[in-house]
Amino acid sequence: MNKTVNIALQVLPTSKTIHPYKIVDKAIEVIANSGLRYKVCPFETVMEGSYEDIMKVVQLAQDACYEAGAESLMTYIKIQSSVGNVSIDDKMEKYE
């Protein structure tokens, strides 16, 4: 899959001592530092890039959640691919 894809990532961490938003912020920080195009939404963050690059970031985001104190983590991923490239703009331009 060397075309551009969109992958939506939602992490739902649990911790007895740390608010989940603080842990999610660490995952978003990893995404922001990845160099990939991304859009933070209320329930998930959408990334644009190659499948392989994004999946590496998914793993790093999960690691960051555990390093930030998550005791467990539910991770949900949605993937949009096509025979051509997929972009965030294709779906969002008429709304922004």
Which residue ranges make up each domain of the chain? 4-82
Architecture of domain 4-82: 2-Layer Sandwich (3.30)
Give the pLDDT score at 1.
Answer: 65
Alpha helices in 1-96 (DSSP H): 20-32, 51-67, 88-92
Task: List, for residues 60-93, the tens digit of each pLDDT value.
Answer: 999 999 999 999 999 999 999 999 888 888 888 8
Length in residues, the chain: 96
User: Is 50's pLDDT higher than 70?
Assistant: yes
pLDDT at 68: 98
17 pLDDT band, cuts 50/70/90, is very high
d(CA 68, CA 89): 32
| Residue 77 to residues 7, 17, 52, 93, Cα–Cα distance (Å) | 7, 26, 14, 23
Q: Give me the percent of the chain exceeding a pLDDT of 70.
A: 99
User: Measured between alpha carbons, how far is residue 45 from residues 8, 16, 17, 58, 88 in Å?
Assistant: 5, 24, 24, 11, 11
